[in-house]
Chains A and B, each alone.
Chain A
């Protein structure tokens, strides 16, 4: 097993850039993805071409099997629940029932022996929809007289979070300056390379259905689908095989998966659906569509005194399960103050229903948007106070821990200032400023942008309970077994899909019980073989599943030592576990872990009842949560003729606690930055006024390619976390949280000679040119 680099932890496997155990199958085309499975029946969904309307007759061709809402009697709608924030329990029928609420909503399911036939038949299904006026934009949906999309949610408001700290008004009126930003984040799609897919197979012998689907949460999908269909959960097995990326989009319950399971039970056969890319772009989950107005009160020394935010989050037509559509607006409200010391805070955060695709979690959730807003605001404040953007951050970043935020979040520790200074030094700001001035003289516009941020990671069930969620994910369980052959197997409730958890958990176990990672197997993604758990999302798996793994491994270790002390007839304190052996310290006596494991099953009488038979231990972990942090810096060049932005350099200084595998950690950060760059410059789901989507393919909705990626330079601080038993913090989302702010701050710096303010993402060439044209026009008027 190759392990060329060791650093940091001083432990044997943790800290190494160990090659991933996941890779050999994947590079040989031996991965097993949902769409690889053959099926007897294939489904094609007929989707609404209209954003709003009443469904009339549904014309079904010939003898085709076409399922509509009328067929799904007894199937409950998807109705996620939140017990706070005036949440309105909006219900989503599994197939549109009576009305359609967005373009792409599934109205009927065609079933045929092949995908092609199902597609052919779907084209012949005639939907008579009596169109009504849709509302697409969240601010329009809030206006008096706007069409009302759900009777249960008057004014189209699904939830309203409000907070105001004591003494806010007095501090606010004492301010020397108020700085304001109207920020706009347009809509995105997470765009995993594997779109959604589901395959359900009925087993006549047991009466059970096995649903194989591309999901981040197999256990919760099982619970949710059993609830909706009113079937015993034990009759449903859910498998998440290899999953081709998720990024949050595959956390939520898809109505389509419910239909596939329903059909498998009805037909007593196998039924499959593979989403095409157009469906994914228009009808899978969207994200990030927000307006935020943020005002900040500063004293005369540019010290932040208070923040006031108005968050309007376009949550689409329905509420996503399990997080509910509170996921974006409530995250924005809770974490808006970010890494800055500010104890006065007022916020109104509303989730607004529109005739658009349902919003759900996407990597970073609201934090790319709030970080963009707050970091743009800090740059504006720097200008207003004639300060350097770095100086204003130095004056305001939190540097005393633990710190309790205005929203009551406990920041256990962070290195905001240290990472800022590290980044400032590494990027060499004075050299850049000199180059910037020289370039401007030649008509080239370079800019530098900073983003400092806090990334809440690895939080357990209390954090979700605080949001009033009916379902509070958080804990994870790991069942660790040393089998009678001496091999190790960990069954985990998490459901990794690219994060390399099979490798990193093996590293943790290897160090704890003294074996090499190549004898360890991590089993996940099958509700029949893995313990109940929540899955992989929210930068949590390594912290929470890693913590549960460590707890289970500590128990196995204790048992091994007990057995070794019996077998070697020495005191437990004299036993050392290493290299697959229990050794007596200071001697050459030892016994293999394989032999001890065998005896734990086959020679239990030898241990005189002091040891439970077998070698299986369970660990469960539900941590309070912790905060990673980073400073991102971008250097860009903006072509003022075309509005095109080229990112010349991107630098990260980050602290995610102890790094278990630096190769995998760096991969997460760089991958996140690519998505953040897409968010900053390229990716936008565009609706026309009637609610049709103009970006329904990957030529129009543009994830970055290799050509758009700058060289990324990573610098690390490893502050071991006291809130995580592995001392590791999560880092899956940080890359995409900081990048939009850093890039757009750099664009604004580049364009500062023109007095242009770009407060909108993505900052496309069109938007940059429009801003420059407006500035030119204004300059001509004053001239």
Chain B
């Protein structure tokens, strides 16, 4: 399993030419080959969602996708959310509503919420709860995450 394939990953608008084994997950490639360690790995079996990134507009679990599958696609990670010195409304809302404690699950929640709201800006509260239930947080008890995402949704619709 050591044959490597040359691919280009486009992360937050920047190209990374890397050589990866076919089995390398997108999560590992983003973190180790491209040095973007803001994306975290919590379970490597697709349950916790800490590794969620946006690929071609869709939130995906980067531990369940191979790096080669993401070649030439547009990948967005937490590092690309803020524009210059201005935080994305979702980042600001997580701070304002205390939607994080240890911060380990936070990048995954941010990318999940941003990805879903860009696709569905008028998502209902029930559907939003369903979507947010796909990631795990062990610190907050979720109430403040939900509050933050609702507040950011309003901001993003402006």
Contacts and interface: CB of A to CB of B under 8 A. Distances in A.
Interface of A: 2, 19-20, 22-24, 26-33, 35-36, 38, 116, 120, 191-195, 242-245, 247, 276-277, 497-500, 663-664, 666-667, 670-675, 697-699, 703-707, 709, 711-712, 735
A194 B45 contact: no
B95 A20 contact: yes
Contacts of B57: none
B44 A19 contact: no
A617 to B, nearest CB: 30
A23 B94 contact: yes
Contact of B79 (A29, A35, A245): A29
Contacts of A673: 141
A705 B136 contact: yes
A68 to B, nearest CB: 26
A697 B81 contact: no
Q: A interface, by DSSP: helix, strand, loop or mixed?
A: loop
Which of A36, A191, A193, A675 gathers most chain B CB within 10 Å?
Answer: A193
A20 to B, nearest CB: 7
A705 B133 contact: yes
24 contacts: A27-B95, A27-B103, A36-B37, A116-B1, A116-B23, A192-B104, A193-B50, A193-B105, A193-B137, A193-B139, A194-B40, A194-B42, A195-B42, A242-B104, A245-B139, A498-B139, A667-B140, A671-B140, A674-B140, A698-B48, A705-B135, A705-B136, A711-B143, A712-B143
B54 interface: no
A499 B38 CA distance: 20
A622 B121 CA distance: 52
A223 B91 CA distance: 39
Contacts of A22: 103
Nearest to B105: A193
A191 B138 contact: yes
A671 B47 contact: no
A277 B107 contact: no
Interface in B118-156: 129-130, 132-146
B47 A698 contact: yes
Contacts of B17: none
Contacts of A31: 38, 103-104
Contacts of B106: 26-27
B124 to A, nearest CB: 14
Contacts of B142: 674, 704-706, 709
B44 A667 contact: no
A193 B138 contact: yes
Given A29-B79, A277-B43, A707 B101 contact: no
A40 to B, nearest CB: 13
B144 A706 contact: no
A711 B146 CA distance: 11
Given A28-B78, A116-B24, A705-B136, 8 more contacts: A27-B106, A28-B81, A31-B104, A191-B138, A194-B40, A277-B45, A674-B140, A705-B134
Interface in B67-96: 77-79, 81-82, 87, 91, 94-96
B98 interface: yes
B110 interface: yes
A28 B91 CA distance: 7
B14 interface: no
A92 B108 CA distance: 37
Contact of A27 (B24, B77, B110): B110
